[in-house]
A and B are shown apart, each in its own frame.
Chain A
């Protein structure tokens, strides 16, 4: 769940802010003015598979499986979101009604290896 930096290619969270004015959507989206469309990117070599899992025991369990089954040949671990949060949006619909809703799991807060 580290933020990406230039000197590592391990699984990390890449931050990116989309400003609705830049995409010409600020006329119908009242709030917020933009949002973080973060994403997960980077390598997940087997020795970090399952980290940072939801619980440290998760990583240990996965690592033991890898050692016990010598999974070098098959299977691989992916860099995925491990924690996300909702985005509250206030916007005009096509009838000029104002609509407020919370979109669940919209913003990636943390990444990790499956």
Chain B
């Protein structure tokens, strides 16, 4: 548009159409998307609102400038909220599956990752295992790699967050990734669903903050 002389006689429609096409192209390019996303499944508005409140709470805690902040500023950062697809592999074990994909040639560095669960009881006794699953539909028996395991100690019921680093440190390298978390109730036989609510209205979700660094950019930095 800058090169074209202004076009007073152009029908408004032609200019509008052109600018809307430019806007689409510009947005997809800057978001590193090949095409606009077609949603795999709708996410309930209540779940979106609840998760955004967590994101804002996390943003408020963001540490003011650190060393080399100007360098940090040059790397584009993303905050991601991913809702779990749940499967009850047995009364005492619940599977949570999260699907991530990012554009090629992106080297993501994960800064923070928390799992949010809704606990029914103030003192839950749960073991959390973190797996990198081979593909989306892997499920409990599928091919997967254990990234970490830990005992969750909780105080108080309701929404609680549990940090997932450093287990996830290497998770985000590579295009399409499936993260599988398994929660097993400890202490003999009590159902995992007696300790946490993973129903549609209290869908567990994950909040992550990642930074992108372009390969050539890193060379320039060095």
Residues of A with Cβ closer than 8 Å to B?
A: 4, 6, 9, 14, 16, 18, 22-23, 25, 27-28, 30, 35, 37, 39-42, 78-80, 89-104, 106
Contact = CB atoms under 8 A, between A and B. Distances in A.
Interface stretch (B20-28, B62-70, B112-120, B154-162): B20-28
Contacts of A4: 6
A76 to B, nearest CB: 12
B217 interface: no
B38 interface: yes
B23 A103 contact: no
29 contacts: A16-B19, A18-B23, A23-B23, A25-B27, A28-B37, A30-B48, A35-B23, A37-B22, A39-B1, A39-B2, A41-B2, A93-B101, A94-B38, A94-B40, A97-B81, A97-B83, A97-B98, A98-B43, A98-B55, A98-B80, A98-B82, A99-B79, A100-B55, A101-B31, A101-B79, A103-B27, A103-B30, A103-B31, A104-B76
A94 to B, nearest CB: 4
Which of A27, A35, A42, A101 is packed against the most chain B CB atoms within 10 Å?
A101
Chain B residues touching A, range: 35 or more
A41 B6 contact: yes
A96 B20 CA distance: 24
B19 A94 contact: no
A86 to B, nearest CB: 10
Contacts of B19: 16, 18, 37
B6 A23 contact: no
A106 B26 CA distance: 9
Contacts of B83: 96-97
Interface in B134-177: none
Contacts of B51: 98
B106 interface: no
A98 B52 contact: yes
B6 A95 contact: no
